[in-house]
Amino acid sequence: MLHADDELVQHINTDTVETGARQWRLTNLDASEIARSWHNQEAHVIDTTGLQPRQVAKPIAAQADQIHIAATDRHPAN
């Protein structure tokens, strides 16, 4: 899961499709922040604040490799 506060706010403010939801989304950012504590426990959260896309991709790829290796170890090919 990616954590990108600035990107989320920018996305909300620049959404031209569901403009009526803007205020609700901004008002409910606190609920999103509260949910983040749960996300930190249940997901692999990557804080993307200040990172370039390549910097974000590296830990995602590393985690995907670890998951693939673990799955392969549990279920080796015949």
* pLDDT the model gives residue 20: 92
* pLDDT the model gives residue 36: 72
Instruction: Retrieve residue 52's tokens.
Output: 């370039």
Burial class (CB in 10 A: 0-12, 13-18, 19+), 36: middle
* pLDDT the model gives residue 16: 93
CB of 3 closer than 8 Å to CB of 45: yes
What is the pTM for the complete model shown?
Answer: 0.43
Q: Please give the residue range of the domain that contains residue 32.
A: 2-74
Reported as a single tens digit per residue, the pLDDT across 13-63 is 999 999 999 999 888 887 777 777 777 777 777 888 888 989 989 988 988
E strands present in 1-78:
2-3, 46-47
* Number of structural domains found in the chain: 1
* pLDDT the model gives residue 22: 92
* pLDDT the model gives residue 71: 64
